[in-house]
Amino acid sequence: MTVMALSGVALTLDIGVLDVTTCKPIPNVMVEIWSSNALGTYGSTFLRGAFTSASSGIAEFQTIFPGHTSYGANHINLMIHTSSSMSGTISHVGQVFFTDRWTDVVSQYSNYAQNTNARVLNAQDPNFKIANSAGYSAIVDIMSINDDWPLGVTGYITVGVDPSRKA
């Protein structure tokens, strides 16, 4: 895989972890993410990471806006472990998504335009439908870093978990 194939629009992603039983942030849990590159390809050595949530319950990642895969809308996979290590019980497994509008904008950027996978819109992705059911929203709030566009965007999402349950 070339460096070109791995590059994309920089994404600073803040994931807030909230205890659904207390409505309070959960510090010191491991948040693990993985996603595809601009071409929609996954790899075992890139675009993967894990951070422990801070006292605010937020884990911050420096990654890229994911490319669309052949089977799903643009998304980032995530797991939340109930302790600050990868060996902690997994209390949540899911995906977070982006609006089709942001995906349209990012898809014009050079490396994303080379993605040959058929584009899947959110409404066509069964995982999107499940993640956004029962009043939940799995859509990352995105803001452009205007001075740096298309070099970067920042996003935030809160993920509610019940730390006493296993995923």
Q: What is the pLDDT of residues 47-82, one digit of tens each?
A: 999 999 999 999 999 999 999 998 899 999 999 998
- Report how far residue 49's alpha carbon sits from residue 34's, in angstroms, rounded to the nearest whole number: 7
Residue-level pLDDT at 6: 61
Give domain status of residue 80, yes or no: yes
Whether 152 is covered by a domain: the verdict is yes
The yes-or-no verdict on residue 12 having pLDDT over 50 is yes
Q: What is the CATH number of the domain that holds 102?
A: 2.60.130.10
Q: Is residue 78 part of a domain?
A: yes
Is 167 within the bounds of a domain?
no
pTM value?
A: 0.90
Domain of 44, in residue numbers = 3-161
- Report phi then psi at 28, rounded to 5: 60, 35
pLDDT at position 87 over 90 = no
In a domain, 11, yes or no: yes
For the chain, how many structural domains are there in total? 1
Using 50, 70 and 90 to split pLDDT, how confident is the model at 89?
A: confident
Indicate the burial class of 119 (C-beta count within 10 angstroms; 0-12, 13-18, 19 or more): middle
Confidence band of 15 (pLDDT split at 50, 70, 90)? very high
Using CB atoms within 10 Å of the CB of residue 97, give its burial: 0 to 12 exposed, 13 to 18 middle, 19+ buried. buried
Instruction: In whole angstroms, give the CA distance from residue 43 to residue 80.
Output: 20
Q: Give the range among 49-53, 89-93, 124-128, 142-146 with minimum mean pLDDT.
A: 142-146
Is there a domain that residue 166 lies in?
Answer: no
Q: Is residue 16 part of a domain?
A: yes
85: in domain:
yes
Each residue of 129-161: pLDDT tens digit?
999 998 889 999 998 766 656 668 899 999 999
